[in-house]
Amino acid sequence: MVKIFLIIIFIAVGLSNSAFAQTGYGTDISGIIAIPTGINSEIYNTGFGGLAGFYYDVDEKIRIALVLGFITLGLDGDELNKKLEDAGEGNASISGSTNAIPVIISFRLITTGTNMRFYGLLEAGIYTYWSKAQGTYFPGDGDVPIDKSEFRSEPGSSVGGGVLFPLNEELNLNANLRYTFIQDSEYLNFGTTSVSTSQMFLFGIGLNWFFLL
């Protein structure tokens, strides 16, 4: 489904050569739902957060943006405990979360025109993590208190796209989808079972403000 979505976006970009063009600058803000994928994704709950972008149109179809945001993913303690038991590594009662603060440069190809507009995006930047966990690990021969909090930064990139639905001359409804690749980052280890971060889908909806140059 994601591949088809991206193909449609880039076809729309390619077919927009003869459309009326407007260049400008502006900002957008989106609330997002984050769905973890990749390594150990099952031990996280669906997350949420927000992204804010400040953009400039290089020409009628090329837009660059600086994107800042906040994403939080809660640890699923029941699923972590199940993984430990299945691996024969005891059990645990642990709660926690991983919070990400992305700082991203975004490159976007956008269709021209005054009606609904499609865009594809490529992004790269740094994700600063604040991970925390509290509770008790029971390896089978006693108990081990867990109280950990740490900051670290990892590189990340995204591919995706979106649609702008005009509300008036300056305001658009912005629906977007990103698949984000973040370098795996482990912050808890129980032998063969670990707590780490990896890729995620980001579904966003928000508002885009556009001003003519």
| Total domains, the chain | 1
In order along its 213 residues, the chain shows pLDDT tens digits of 444 444 444 444 444 443 445 678 999 999 999 999 877 888 899 999 999 999 999 988 999 999 999 999 999 989 988 888 888 888 889 999 989 999 999 999 999 877 899 999 999 999 998 989 999 999 888 888 989 888 889 899 999 999 999 999 899 999 999 999 987 777 788 877 778 777 899 999 999 998 887
- Report yes or no on 123 lying in a domain: yes
- Report yes or no on 21 lying in a domain: no
**HSE value, Cβ hemisphere, 13 Å, CA-based, for 109:** 16
- Report yes or no on 172 lying in a domain: yes
Q: Are 95 and 75 in contact (CB under 8 A)?
A: yes
Host domain of residue 130: 2-16+27-212
Beta strands 200-212 and 24-36, pairing class: antiparallel
CA 188 – CA 181 distance, rounded (Å):
20
- Report yes or no on 22 lying in a domain: no
Cα distance between the two ends of the chain: 36
CATH no. for residue 179? 2.40.160.20
